[in-house]
Amino acid sequence: MFGSESLPVLPPAFDYAGVTVFALTGALAAARDRHDIVTFWFFAVVTGIGGGTLRDLLIGAPVFWIGDATYLGIGLLAAIAVWLAAPRIERLKTLIWLDAIGLGAYAVIGAAKALAFDVGPFVAVAMGVLTACFGGVIRDVLAVQPSALLKREITISAALLAAGGFVALTYLGIPPVWAGVAGAVAGFGLRAGAIHYGWALPAFGEKPK
């Protein structure tokens, strides 16, 4: 375990950035169904904070956004930005790529928060995956859309690579910021390859070609 002087804490800007990306995907989901601006905000906030909220409840940490209204402000700004920009962008493609960026970044953020609360490495990786994926699940349920997690796409595996890479590099003594960047880039790269090239893991019962 880490001593109190070496806890792998990432700068708050990382957390704000991760929430911002997922908040944008939530607002984009609201735009797809032509909701009003208040619903845009609701989708943005719930998607942005959903995974981190569940993580904090599970590891016994204070829920991160309760004492910091900045996260609600991020949701509002994301809602307004999408409200203004949505008519001029390809919404589905933008949502998919933002989700890929958020997946890698938030997996690292979730794992780092878990390690900072003295959670073991394997559970920390699991918390990273949960943090990265749960907000998107809530967004898709609210939008009545099939979740990417239920499709034959590399999604959870990308979050696992990001969180696992960060934890492994941190235990090897790499500074948390650089371990976080490496993990997030690796997770995003795997997810990007799945989006662009159609990579997928073998399905149960599928015969090799």
Question: Do the domain assignments include residue 2?
Answer: no
3-state secondary structure of 19: helix
Question: Do the domain assignments include residue 206?
Answer: no
How sure is the predictor about 14, in pLDDT bands with cuts at 50, 70 and 90? confident
Question: Rounded to whole angstroms, how far apart are CA atoms 52 and 11?
Answer: 16
Question: Do the domain assignments include residue 5?
Answer: no
Residue-wise pLDDT tens digits, 155-167: 889 999 999 999 9
Average pLDDT over residues 5-18: 73
Q: With beta carbons less than 8 A apart as the criterion, state whether 107 and 163 touch.
A: yes
Is pLDDT larger for residue 74 or for residue 145?
Answer: 74
Torsion of CA 82, 161, 139, 44, to 10 degrees: -40
Give the count of beta carbons closer than 10 Å to the beta carbon of residue 13: 8
Question: Do the domain assignments include residue 27?
Answer: yes
Closest of 87, 100, 159, 115 to residue 2, by C-alpha: 115
Question: Do the domain assignments include residue 54?
Answer: yes
Total count of domains within the chain: 1
Residue-wise pLDDT tens digits, 20-48: 999 999 998 999 888 999 999 999 999 99
Kindly report the pTM of this predicted structure. 0.88
Residue-wise pLDDT tens digits, 148-206: 666 667 888 999 999 999 999 999 999 999 999 999 999 999 999 988 888 877 776 66
**Residue 127, exposed/middle/buried by CB under 10 A (0-12, 13-18, 19+)?**
buried
Structural domain including 41 reads 11-196
How sure is the predictor about 4, in pLDDT bands with cuts at 50, 70 and 90? very low
Question: Rounded to whole angstroms, how far apart are CA atoms 109 and 9?
Answer: 9
Handedness of CA 121, 126, 129, 130 (dihedral sign): negative
Average pLDDT over residues 55-61: 95
Q: With beta carbons less than 8 A apart as the criterion, state whether 15 and 176 touch.
A: no
Question: Do the domain assignments include residue 45?
Answer: yes
Question: Do the domain assignments include residue 201?
Answer: no
3-state secondary structure of 46: helix
Question: Do the domain assignments include residue 126?
Answer: yes
- Predicted local distance difference test score (pLDDT) of residue 148: 65
Q: What is the mean pLDDT of the chain?
A: 88
